[in-house]
Amino acid sequence: MSTIRLSRFRSVSAAELRLFGRNRSALFSALVLPLILAVTVAGAGVEESGTSAAGLVVTSLLGYVLLAAVYYNLVTTYVSRREELMLKRLRAGELTDTEILTGIATPMVVVALAQMVVFVAAGAVLFGLPVPVNVLLLLAGALGGVVVFVLIAAMSTEFTRTTEAAQVTTLPVMIACLVGSMMYTALDDAPEAVIAALRALPLTPVVDLMRLGWLGTTGPAAAEGFTGVLDDALVPAGILMAWIIVGVLTVRRRFRWEPRR
């Protein structure tokens, strides 16, 4: 996956943005579904459980945005473009592999980042959550999560033959990631192997970094300050980096640019 030239990247992104705007199901899962969840959470009285509980729920919603807006939509988009032979045609021109894959991903990434900003603002206004303890760590978690789930979406196309099949093939990843990132901090009595497995799921380090950056803690423990969270961030940052490396290597070797014959 080689370097990106801005002009060619813009052309692919603009074309993909137009196609994305015409896809009603993609627009619904990217724009409407996370907002429905946010309204549901707001109406469930989460703020009455305290700042800590509200913060954990809102940061879980940030993780869900990555799954819905980036991962699921991008799997269906990559598969659709592959089956339409668009990837093959784009690759036959001057575009590099990186320009093609990142250009196609741009609309979903923009939507996801915009929703995260909205959720952070909503967390402050609706739930009275504090100013982020370490904004840089919060941003690192969000941006790292975007990169990871773009790569995992590309990896998932390997075993997804059609856009219809994406509804099935993406479900185990989404459930495992969402449940794992929400549950592992509450499983104090679980075997260490189980906790380690949940922490190793791709969404867990992302949510951990965002929680550390925003709340100063990943669970019921006392919040740390700007520098205090850095030590706690080492493990999730390492796991996140490992997923990025695995994703890049796998996409380089295994990504299919043409339909199976």
The structure tokens 């979903």 sit at 108
Cβ-Cβ contacts under 8 Å for 171 (sequence gap 6 or more): none
d(CA 140, CA 244): 13
Comparison of pLDDT for 259 and 130, the residue scoring more: 259
Whether 205 and 240 have beta carbons less than 8 Å apart is answered as: yes
Give residue 100's domain range. 6-254
pLDDT at position 24, please? Answer: 73
Q: Is residue 1 domain-resident?
A: no
pLDDT at position 43, please? Answer: 55
**Local confidence band at 35 (pLDDT 50, 70, 90 cut-offs):** low
Mean pLDDT of the region 231-257: 96
pLDDT at position 149, please? Answer: 98
Q: Is residue 186 domain-resident?
A: yes
Q: Is residue 122 domain-resident?
A: yes
pLDDT at position 57, please? Answer: 80
Whether 75 and 161 have beta carbons less than 8 Å apart is answered as: no
Whether 239 and 99 have beta carbons less than 8 Å apart is answered as: no
User: What's the full length of the chain, in residues?
Assistant: 261
d(CA 12, CA 33): 26
**What are φ and ψ of residue 134, in 5° steps?**
-140, 95
Mean pLDDT of the region 6-21: 71
Residue 227 half-sphere exposure toward CB, CA atoms < 13 A: 0
Axis crossing angle, helix 135-156 with helix 73-83, rounded to the nearest 10: 40
What is the secondary structure of the chain as a DSSP string?
Answer: -----HHHHHHHHHHHHHHHHH-HHHHIIIIIHHHHHHHHHHHTTGGGG-HHHHHHHHHHHHHHHIIIIIIIHHHHHHHHHHHTTHHHHHHHTT--HHHHHHHHHHHHHHHHHHHHHHHHHHHHHHS-PPPPS-HHHHHHHHHHHHHHHHHHHHHHGGG--STTTHHHHTHHHHHHHHHHHHHGGG-TTS-HHHHHHHHHSTHHHHHHHHHHHHHS-SSSSPPP-TTHHHHHHHHHHHHHHHHHHHHHHHHHHH--SS---
Mean pLDDT of the region 112-137: 86
Mean pLDDT of the region 133-159: 96
Mean pLDDT of the region 35-55: 59
pLDDT at position 13, please? Answer: 73
Q: Is residue 261 domain-resident?
A: no
pLDDT at position 52, please? Answer: 66
Comparison of pLDDT for 49 and 99, the residue scoring more: 99
Tell me the chain's radius of gyration from C-alpha atoms: 19
Q: Is residue 260 domain-resident?
A: no
Report how far Cα 234 is from the mean position of its chain's Cα atoms: 20
Q: Is residue 221 domain-resident?
A: yes
Q: What is the number of structural domains in the chain?
A: 1
**Local confidence band at 48 (pLDDT 50, 70, 90 cut-offs):** very low
Structure token digits, residue 33: 């579904």
Q: Is residue 166 domain-resident?
A: yes
Q: Is residue 235 domain-resident?
A: yes
Express as a percent the part of the chain with pLDDT over 90: 48
